[in-house]
Chains A and B, each alone.
Chain A
Amino acid sequence: MYPDPDRPRRAGVIDLLVLCVLLGLGWLVWTRVSGVLAYRWDWAFLPQVLVTRSEAGGWRPNLLLEGLLTTLRLSLWAMLFASIIGVGLGVLATRVRLFARLLAFGYVGLVRNVPPLVFIFVFYFFISSQLIPALGIDTWARELGEGGQRVFGWLLGPPVLIENLLSGVICLALFEAAYIGEVVRAGITSVPADQTEAGKSVGLRPVQVLRLIVAPQALRAVAPPLANQFILLVKNSSIVSLISVQELTFIGTEVSVSTDRRFETWIVVAGMYLVICYALAFAFGAMERRSRRAYAR
């Protein structure tokens, strides 16, 4: 009576029908759009904004690829700092001490319930403009030697833009840390209390309980939501274009205005985000499968 669960899966009539309907809808939307949109598509500018001839005669990344690199640097550094702060917040939130919990909940409550745009503006104009020049990184970066400049360039981009990138990184990290903190807190709470008690009863110190018993189990629980948060972080990094961090979205605006090729530019920019985020999702998926196999063994 029931269909055989082991029968080979083939595309049936219904699948074909659904596919046809989808294609039809797509075609309908496209004809509607091209009827309304008065736009001459021209992709000829694209190679020029991706790469250009370098002084040495080779090729070097131009505007859009530079923007993509900046977005990658921005996201990776922000992920690192957001993870560190987030884990701290998550651990604090599960402590018995009231002060620790208040600190974590206060931060998460404040940052998570403020629109990202407002947070970024307040942070940029009030906090980062006081904090970052005081660190003196700008002068330090300018005075680096040739070798130092090269390493620095790979990790943090051109020295002239260091303050710019740094405000983006700190801003994004502080913002995302609140969400990561919540994920970590949920992960730690998901480990049954008897595990902790068992750990204590065999004489482990609190730090050892956290490190040897809670953390490994919590880590497995938080991996999928954490991956999700990292993907969100990459996409959210486009918001810092508003404080003029020279990342992909900001450069996208510049290119689209300079070349007057708006839709082409934005389609390419969207494609770049898609590729980064999909690659991230794939990498995290692979890591998860590997850890599951290792655990099963």
Chain B
Amino acid sequence: MKPFRIFAAAALAASSLWTTTPAYSQDGAKTQQALAQGSVIEAIKQRGALKVGLSTFVPWAMRDKEGELIGFEVDVATKLAEDMEVDIEFVPTAWDGIIPALLAGKFDVIIGGMTITPVRNLTVNFTDAYANSSVGAVANIELAEGLAWPDGYNDSDVTIACRRGSTPCAWLKKTFPKAVLRQFDDDGQVSQEVMNGNAHMMLASQPKPAFDVYENPDLLFSPTDEKIDPGNEGFAVRKGDPDALNFFNNWILVNRSSGWLEERHEYWFGGRPWADQVPG
């Protein structure tokens, strides 16, 4: 009986050895498969539609006379969906809640002119930059005519306006710690505050500041020509999705090399050939 027992134990040990070794790599393959299956790219293909979160922001995304969305962002997202051979669905979202909405799965990706910042990057993943922006300053002639840039604005008597949660706001806090900061929900309210003379200066992403000065030369001026706080805009996706990141990155690479991204950017930001599409 004894030798049989020993033989059985040895066989058992051998068989367990034999099964465990490949089991590891099988687990690895399963993880890999689960990761690929769980990618948002698969979900998009299955649904047959790409859901894009964005926020109204001239000229990134805005409404035309038919009530449809137009803008740089809209062109980018539409071409992306075309290249993926799926439909496009836009989910207009309030800027304040756009990252929580992405995390809650209300859409697949934010293509919303979102500037890549380390703080945001802790919560979401960013693709490579598909656009480069800069910030422009606009000041009220009556209030800020004599103020020197930038030191004259770092004063507790100076009021500065910006859009809540935007990158210019963070830059202002850092650069003009002494000034009073007023934050609003959209850029329209921000420039109105400066025009009314309730704030000395405002900061917003170009080209809105340039347009504001162009339209109100008797009220507003640009205190500086320097490029303030240049930013890089990327798509934002949920964390833990390497496939989506790779796909979007390479889509951006391809469309940057072909010159398509630059051409579209020039169309929307270079001037206002699109002005007659917007109601007004």
Contact B192 A39 (CB under 8 A): yes
| Cα separation A129 to B196 with both chains bound (whole Å) | 41
Whether the pair A258, B63 counts as a contact (CB closer than 8 A) is yes
Is the Cβ of B91 less than 8 Å from the Cβ of A244?
yes
Residue of A52, A253, A257 touching B66 (CB-CB under 8 A)? A52
Contact status B188-A262, CB under 8 Å: yes
Q: Does B251 belong to the interface (CB within 8 Å)?
A: no
Which A21-78 residues sit within 8 Å CB-CB of chain B?
36-39, 42, 44-45, 48-49, 52-53, 62-63, 66
Say whether B56 contacts A254, CB under 8 Å: yes
Q: Are B56 and A258 in contact (CB under 8 A)?
A: yes
Nearest CB of chain A from residue B144's CB, rounded to whole Å: 14
- Count the A residues whose beta carbon is within 8 Å of the partner chain — how many? 37
- Assess whether B93 is in contact with A49, with CB atoms less than 8 Å apart: no
User: A45 with B187: in contact, given A258-B62, A260-B58, A262-B192 (CB under 8 Å)?
Assistant: no
The answer on a CB contact under 8 Å between A255 and B63 is yes
Using Cβ atoms and an 8 Å threshold, which residues of chain A touch B216? 38
Specify which chain B residues have a CB less than 8 angstroms from the CB of A36 in the assembled complex. Answer: 196-197
* Range for the number of chain B residues in contact with chain A: 35 or more
Structural contact, B280 and A257, CB atoms closer than 8 A: no
Q: Is the CB of A253 within 8 A of B67?
A: no
Q: Which residues of B contact A37 (CB under 8 A)?
A: 196
- Identify which of A45, A53, A246 contacts B279 (C-beta below 8 A): A45
Is the pair A244, B195 in contact by a Cβ cutoff of 8 Å?
no
Binds A, one of B12-20, B34-42, B96-104, B165-173: B96-104
With a CB–CB cut-off of 8 A, which chain B residues contact A39? 192, 195-196
A175 interface residue, CB < 8 Å from B? no
Give the contacts of B175-230 with A (CB-CB under 8 A): 185-189, 192, 195-197, 216, 219
Q: Identify the A interface with B (CB < 8 A).
A: 36-39, 42, 44-45, 48-49, 52-53, 62-63, 66, 121, 124-125, 129, 133, 160, 164, 241-244, 246, 250, 253-262
Offer 6 A-B interface pairs, CB within 8 angstroms, sorted by A.
A38-B216, A52-B66, A255-B63, A256-B186, A257-B186, A258-B62
